[in-house]
Amino acid sequence: MAILRQLDIKGFKSIWQDSLDLGQLNVFIGTNGAGKSNLLEAIAMLSASLEGGIDYERLQHRGARLSSSAIFRSAFKNKNRTSIFRLEAHFDNDLSYSMSVNAVDGFRYHSESVKVEGATIAGRSNNGATLNGNSLNSKLDNRKAIFPYLQALKTIQNDTNYSQEIEILSALTKYAIYAPATPLLRGTETDSSAKEPLGLYGGRLADALNEVLNDKEARPQIQRFFELINWVKSVGTTKQVNQELVSGHINLIGAKVVYSDKYMITNFNKLYGYDVSEGALYILFALVLLIHKNSPNIFALDNVDNALNPGLIRALMSQISEILEKNPEKQLFLTTHNPAALDAVDLFNSKHRLFVVERDEDGHTKFRRVSPPQDTTKEQWEERYFGMKLSEIWMSGAIGGMPAGF
């Protein structure tokens, strides 16, 4: 199971130093600017590196912001600002990948390692680089990562040692941060990301939905959509345009999602994505992303609550939790500002994690996991908080993460 178990971060953007114990479903809530998106981008850095190196093309392909390299280095008062940030990821099989990156005028590797049970199977430092315990005769380009060299060596030598570990790390290379945008979901703008299967921002929603509807295994999962959006009778796609449904003032691009409204008369009950509510678009995007066979196993949804009312986000989160339970190979990182999103998080489920994201007195981003005290039962927890939902507990200020003055 290729799931990221622990993430250690040092000197990366607003995260001076922190370590997170992760699960399958990871939900991050906190004030604006607390550093939630920085965490998602730290994972994008690891993903890009494992693919071959950190550069802006790879970062863009993963949905990370294309800031100056200097922005990626922490810059706090009363702290010595270094030229390097460090990220370390821990997986199953006692596998870890770490990198220290010089982020002055671009990105260059300072050190890097792939370890299994504490033994380095690939690594680099100022003293040179090693693969499978053998030193590389030639100097490794400090802009290129070492992991692809390990992959190539194993392939050339037909060596099955560490094949599972290589597969686990390779899974992270497909990671991306998805952040659906209304104009792209409506079909009036092009999604420049071209990221399979939906585009990072939703520009390929109609194409991806069509692929799901033609997939015998995935298609039944679309029924979840009708449980959440109850005014829709059916949903499908088309490449044709019914001029009666399209104003001459807009231009719909590519394939289109078509909804039928069960309350409208049967000879005029079709709506393109341009005319439906944002909620119907965002819900469909999230579900297709979760069930499409070409979606990455490890991915992030930034601001999942966008355009959804509290009841709908609560219901969507319940569906997400069910889908993840049936697909243990998947791992989701999800940021939200809507406390209703917390109500599907089960603090007593070992696969679920809820993190409150805050800045400490020095401005450093801190990720504080919310979990019941040791040996506390679910019944005792509910009694302690008078049966309140997690959203209500968060709004009360009992678990933090609220803006000052609230």
DSSP structural state of residue 69: G
CB-based contact 227:322 (threshold 8 Å): no
Which pair of structure tokens corresponds to residue 352? 């679920």
Domains and their CATH numbers in the chain: 4-176+296-395 (3.40.50.300), 183-279 (no CATH)
pLDDT for 134: 85
* Beta-bridge partners for 116: 95, 119
- H, E, C per residue of 339-385: HHHHHHCCCCCCCEEEEEEEECCCCCEEEEECCCCCCCCHHHHHHHC
Distance of alpha carbon 115 from alpha carbon 90, whole angstroms:
9
Pinpoint the alpha helices (H) of 214-361: 223-228, 278-291, 310-326
Distance of alpha carbon 272 from alpha carbon 351, whole angstroms:
38
pLDDT for 2: 58
DSSP structural state of residue 44: H
CB-based contact 273:238 (threshold 8 Å): no
Each residue's pLDDT expressed in tens, for the chain with a length of 406 residues: 458 999 999 999 999 999 999 999 999 998 889 999 999 999 999 999 999 999 999 999 999 999 999 999 999 998 999 999 999 999 988 999 999 999 999 999 999 999 999 999 999 998 889 988 888 877 889 999 999 988 888 777 777 778 889 999 999 999 999 999 999 999 888 888 878 899 999 999 999 999 999 999 999 999 999 999 999 999 999 988 877 777 767 777 788 999 999 999 988 999 988 899 999 999 999 999 999 999 999 999 998 788 889 999 999 999 999 999 999 999 999 999 899 999 999 999 999 999 999 999 999 999 999 999 888 999 999 898 888 999 999 888 887 666 655 5
pLDDT for 189: 86
Candidates 87, 159, 86, 82; CA nearest to 121 is 159
> Rounded to two decimals, what is the model's pTM?
0.95
pLDDT for 401: 63
pLDDT for 406: 52
pLDDT for 405: 54
CB-based contact 218:235 (threshold 8 Å): no
pLDDT for 273: 86
